[in-house]
């Protein structure tokens, strides 16, 4: 598997034009072989990005940790996609109509539960149990309509914890990362010299290095279903290759394939599978894309095409030193992922 020269040039150009301070791009085959390129620095004035640089994955946590944990549990018969939230949390949506208790695992995965997009939990609560309580009492509306939401995956992470009786970081390590050999993938905090910096956070009063960027994830102790995971390109190549094969280490093949079937359609042109974003007018992988993928706010993205047996990985710290930079990340993603998959077609 050879990375196209255009992908290398796009990443180098993005660094030169200050779209991102640094990054890694990789293309991956179903057997796990991959090729990559690096450019830029892990922080301003710091060392250069290497293939082993770990990045804050942000919302890639949803599909790299939470989703496969759930699929392993579904495959084992410990829960089903049709299970209601009320099975796991009897006080969910208490005295509300419609009630979050009636939302199913399938609806949460497809962003169709009726939960709102986002709100600043971190401004109201400061510890995990209170964060979960706030999510469990969150109102729902327009159930069945696609609305991308972090809250849904916060709750799904809590479902994993409820079923396994283990915190999400432990469950993900045992169910996903360990079996796949992803030994450099973990939730933070991480104290190491190979982690890309994210934002100089005014709220926390420090540059974030190895500490989750997402504010709401901080009140989950950095271990949340929607954000908090750190990884490098080689580990994500292992993960992507497993999906290209629909590997049984991730769950039963039929369960895995169900995640890649359309579940709902957003007003923004997005097409939602279970966890995954599917091809549509809002897709970031270029026109004519096949397969499925996801993005992360910090500047990360992953696209997989099992039909062609190719996946593409883009890891950047575009929010360093502040989130206002990196407006060009959308164009960069489309060019990088689209170019890699077009060359493999």
Q: What is the mean pLDDT of the chain?
A: 96
Residue 58 gets the label, from left (phi > 0), alpha (psi -120 to 50) or beta, of left
Q: Is residue 129 part of a domain?
A: no
The pLDDT value recorded for residue 272 is 97
The pLDDT value recorded for residue 327 is 76
Cα 289 vs. chain centroid, distance in angstroms?
19
The pLDDT value recorded for residue 326 is 64
Q: Is residue 137 part of a domain?
A: no
Q: Is residue 234 part of a domain?
A: yes
Composition of the chain by helix, strand, coil, percent to 5: 35, 15, 50
- Burial readout 27-58 (b: 16 or more C-beta within 10 A, e: otherwise): bbbbebebbbbbbbbbbeebeebeeebbbbbb
The model's pLDDT over 24-62, given as tens digits with 9 standing for 90+, comes to 999 999 999 999 999 999 999 999 999 999 999 999 999
Q: Is residue 79 part of a domain?
A: no
Give the mean pLDDT of 334-345. Answer: 92
As a whole number of angstroms, the distance between CA 199 and CA 31 comes to 35
> Which residue range is the domain that position 43 belongs to?
5-69+167-344
The model's pLDDT over 75-94, given as tens digits with 9 standing for 90+, comes to 999 999 999 999 999 999 99
Q: Is 299 exposed, middle or buried (0-12, 13-18, 19+ CB in 10 A)?
A: buried
Q: Does 287 have pLDDT greater than 90?
A: no
What percentage of residues in the chain have a pLDDT greater than 90?
95
CB 30 within 8 A of CB 237: no
CA-based nearest residue to 29, from 179, 290, 245:
245
Residue 238: helix, strand or coil by DSSP? helix
CB 218 within 8 A of CB 126: no
For the domain that residue 198 is a member of, what is the CATH number? 3.40.710.10
Q: Is 269 exposed, middle or buried (0-12, 13-18, 19+ CB in 10 A)?
A: exposed
Q: Is residue 295 part of a domain?
A: yes
The pLDDT value recorded for residue 286 is 81
Q: Does 1 have pLDDT greater than 90?
A: no
Q: Is residue 57 part of a domain?
A: yes
Q: Is residue 88 part of a domain?
A: no
As a whole number of angstroms, the distance between CA 307 and CA 312 comes to 14
Q: What is the β-pairing status of strands 310-316 and 22-29?
A: antiparallel
Q: Is residue 87 part of a domain?
A: no
Q: Does 198 have pLDDT greater than 90?
A: yes
Please report which confidence band the pLDDT of residue 207 belongs to, taking 50, 70 and 90 as the band edges: very high
Q: Does 282 have pLDDT greater than 90?
A: no
CB 198 within 8 A of CB 320: yes
Q: Does 252 have pLDDT greater than 80?
A: yes
Give the mean pLDDT of 307-331. Answer: 93
- The total number of structural domains in the chain stands at 1
């Amino acid at each position: 598997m050879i990375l196209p020269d255009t992908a290398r040039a796009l990443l180098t150009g993005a660094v030169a034009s200050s779209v991102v301070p640094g990054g890694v791009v990789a293309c991956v085959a179903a057997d796990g072989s991959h090729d990559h390129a690096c450019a830029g620095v892990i922080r301003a004035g710091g060392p250069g990005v290497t293939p082993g640089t770990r990045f804050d994955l942000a919302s890639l946590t949803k599909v790299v940790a939470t989703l496969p944990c759930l699929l392993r549990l579904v495959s084992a018969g410990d829960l089903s996609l049709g299970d209601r939230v009320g099975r796991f949390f009897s006080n969910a949506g208490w005295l509300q109509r419609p009630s979050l208790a009636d939302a199913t695992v399938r609806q949460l995965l497809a962003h169709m539960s009726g939960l709102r997009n986002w709100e600043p939990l971190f401004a109201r609560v400061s510890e995990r149990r209170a964060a979960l309580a706030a999510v469990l009492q969150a109102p729902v509306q327009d159930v069945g309509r696609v609305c991308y939401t972090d809250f849904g995956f916060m709750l799904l992470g809590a479902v994993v914890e409820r079923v396994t009786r283990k915190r999400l970081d432990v469950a993900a390590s045992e169910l996903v990362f360990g079996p796949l050999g992803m030994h450099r993938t973990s939730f933070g905090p991480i104290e190491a010299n190979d982690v890309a910096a994210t934002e100089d956070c005014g709220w926390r009063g420090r540059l974030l290095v190895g500490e989750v960027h997402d504010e709401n994830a901080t009140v989950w102790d950095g271990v949340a279903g929607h954000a908090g995971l750190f990884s490098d390109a080689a580990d994500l190549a292992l993960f992507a290759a497993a999906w290209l094969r629909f590997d049984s280490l991730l769950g039963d093949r039929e369960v895995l394939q169900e995640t890649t079937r359309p579940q709902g359609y957003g007003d923004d042109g997005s097409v939602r599978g279970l966890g995954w974003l599917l091809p549509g007018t809002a897709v970031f992988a270029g026109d004519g894309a096949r397969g499925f993928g996801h993005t992360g706010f910090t500047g990360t993205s992953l696209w997989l095409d099992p039909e062609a047996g190719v996946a593409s990985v883009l890891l950047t710290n575009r929010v360093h030193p502040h989130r206002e930079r990196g407006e060009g990340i959308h164009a960069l993603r489309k060019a990088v992922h689209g170019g890699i998959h077009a060359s493999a077609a």
